[in-house]
Amino acid sequence: MLKPKSAELFDEPGCEHNRGKSEKQRKLGCSARSLTPGAAAGGCAFDGAKIALQPIADAAHLVHGPIACEGNSWDSRHTLSSGPQVYRVGMTTDMSELDVIHGGEKKLFQAIKEIVQRYRPAAVFVYVTCVPALIGDDAEAVCAAAAERFATPVIPVNAPGFAGSKNLGNKLAGQALLDHVIGSDEPEASTPYDINLIGEYNVAGELWQVRPLLDRLGIRILASITGDGRFRDIACAHRARVNMVVCSQAMVALARQMKDRYGIPYFEGSFYGIRNTSDALRQLSAMLVRQGAGGELDRRTEQLIEEEEDHAARALEPYRTRLNGKRVLLYTGGVKSWSMVSALHELGMTVVGTSVRKSTEEDRERIRDLLGEEAMIAGQIPAKEMYRRLKAGEADILMSGGRTQFVALKTKTPWLDINQEREHPYAGYHGIVQLASRIDAELDNPIWLQVRRPAPWDNEKAATGRGVQ
């Protein structure tokens, strides 16, 4: 059942890049390259699906599989909630050898029962992992029976790790929302100023840097899919007038299908950097006006952009002179590999290289457009190679996730966390100022002067011409 579904998701007509391919290439999909052994550790399809849906804060997220699958992804991302915390509770059916022999359906039903009785969540998402998929557990039937018995929506997410990449998991998660959630409820009221944000996960609270801008314009986020999301809001998402896909090719299929089913137009945009943020607000406003909002929205949007750009430019002034010309090596993946580049360019920085791990072909093309032929665009950079580049002084700072921080620290190079574990939000006009301030603080940290000085024993060795005894 998964194969035709995956093929369909990769043959996405809403994807600009896909439209330019031949029919044969389209069928192959953008992430359909065969995975190398061990690649699932970098994010399997289950991981991708969980990442995409777990930010729905008032829902329980139950992983049906051996406990290690849940351990793989639980709580490693700083996607924040402004209210409920049930999404943060790690839940798994913890399948054992006996369940492999006898089947895990009863255990799954019991687990859903316990969750509903104990936490009373708005819904339960059930993630099917490799083991129950291989032994043939009918999770869909169990979810349907449990939903009826416990009067709570129970959503099956059929994205076992072996199905493919993390990117495919994101897509399958979007499909689960379409199949089981969106359109299943009605909002109390709808207005011509209602939008959905798709693919914004509220990492470190980035949604909260965007929401106040929209509030000032009178634009309502009907559903955030899925950062700081609420199940009922997403169930009502089909009443929005416009969908914005936030830096996420993986979720474009969801937006395209909402257009086909409910007639909601969509566009893709980003909130990283001043220009991207202003472009996104302009586009939102123009599309809402076309969808029935008052024409004065455009004027108010321009006014807000002018004020905010002016404010951001003044706040960035002290950083611009200090950061101008500083060289960055970006080692991230997915959409951040390109969306961060334009934000760094606005700070006057030079991006000497970026990685395209887990990026789709569309992400890669955007990077090539932004960086031209000169900068390094790499897939995986082995630690040894990264060490060599940093040691040779090819970059002033490494911006990456926590796993590579020690390569930077060993070469005495400043490092900034820009992955999902980060503590600081970088979206919108305030976010770019925060990003500049964090980069500046890392570059200017007095520790670099100290650690780059020769050690006392090296000085002694140089003075005496002998090694220290």
Return d(Cα 216, Cα 34) in angstroms, integer.
47
Return d(Cα 353, Cα 104) in angstroms, integer.
47
Return d(Cα 272, Cα 437) in angstroms, integer.
15
CB-nearer residue toward ligand SF4: 166 or 241:
166
252 binds ligand SF4 (CB under 6 A): no
Question: Of all residues in this chain, which one has the CB nearest to ligand SF4 in the complex?
Answer: 161
Number of residues that bind ligand SF4 (CB under 6 A): 11
Return d(Cα 340, Cα 343) in angstroms, integer.
5
Near ligand SF4 by CB under 6 A, which window of 41-49, 240-248, 260-268, 317-325? 41-49
Report in angstroms how near the CB of residue 160 gets to ligand SF4 at its nearest.
Answer: 5
Q: Which two tokens stand for residue 283?
A: 């586009």
Return d(Cα 369, Cα 361) in angstroms, integer.
13
161 binds ligand SF4 (CB under 6 A): yes
Q: Which two tokens stand for residue 161?
A: 């790790």
91 binds ligand SF4 (CB under 6 A): no
Which H or E run contains 466? Answer: none
CB-nearer residue toward ligand SF4: 129 or 400:
129
Among 9, 15, 40, 91, binds ligand SF4 (CB under 6 A): 40
CB-nearer residue toward ligand SF4: 121 or 160:
160
Among 53, 62, 69, 91, binds ligand SF4 (CB under 6 A): 69
Residue 168 · residue 11 · CB < 8 Å: no
CB-nearer residue toward ligand SF4: 140 or 298:
140
Report in angstroms how near the CB of residue 355 gets to ligand SF4 at its nearest.
Answer: 22
Return d(Cα 180, Cα 174) in angstroms, integer.
10
Binding mask 420-439 for ligand SF4 (x = CB under 6 A): --------------------
CA dihedral 280, 281, 283, 284 (to 10 degrees): 110
Near ligand SF4 by CB under 6 A, which window of 40-48, 180-188, 219-227, 272-280? 40-48
Return d(Cα 156, Cα 388) in angstroms, integer.
46
Report in angstroms how near the CB of residue 62 gets to ligand SF4 at its nearest.
Answer: 14
Near ligand SF4 by CB under 6 A, which window of 65-73, 234-242, 389-397, 452-460? 65-73
Return d(Cα 332, Cα 359) in angstroms, integer.
9
Residue 360, preceding peptide bond in cis (omega within 30° of 0): no
CB-nearer residue toward ligand SF4: 161 or 205:
161
CB atoms within 10 A of CB 403: 12
Return d(Cα 227, Cα 207) in angstroms, integer.
7
Report in angstroms how near the CB of residue 130 gets to ligand SF4 at its nearest.
Answer: 3
Site for ligand SF4 in 104-143 (CB under 6 A): 129-130
Return d(Cα 128, Cα 108) in angstroms, integer.
10
Interacting residue ranges for ligand SF4, rule: CB under 6 A: 40, 44, 46-47, 65, 69, 72, 129-130, 160-161
